[in-house]
Amino acid sequence: MSLGYQIDGWLGALLGLVACSLPPLAMVPATVAARRFLMTPAFAGVIRGAAFATAGLLISTGVTLMLPEGGTAWWQLAIGGAAVALTYQGRVHPGVVVIGSALLGIALAR
């Protein structure tokens, strides 16, 4: 809304508010209308495919970040492997894994 206000004053702020509010509000009736399709095996397959695609993109991004021109240290691979193991088991919240990995990486990089 602040960007809309800076560009076109109160009208821009109002349009920014509508643009931010309309998509979530449109999802409620759309979900009600599509509820009978959400529990079908075909839709479950779509969700499973999206989860696999997300995991693949996450792994690709991690590999790209860990393999710069200088190479990767052993401790970076160890932190990455530990993070994958902790996240895969599901016992530790992913946010805790990310913050812990970052702090450990900062400590070991010095």
73: three-class secondary structure by DSSP:
coil
Contacts of 74 (CB under 8 A, 6+ apart): none
Other beta carbons within 10 angstroms of residue 4's beta carbon come to 19
- 32-63 pLDDT tens trace: 888 878 788 888 888 889 999 998 898 888 77
Residue 30 has pLDDT above 90, yes or no: no
pTM above 0.85, yes or no: no
> pLDDT tens, 58-93?
888 877 777 766 667 788 888 888 888 888 878 888
Cα dihedral 91, 94, 95, 101 sign? positive
Which pLDDT score, from 0 to 100, does residue 70 have? Answer: 64
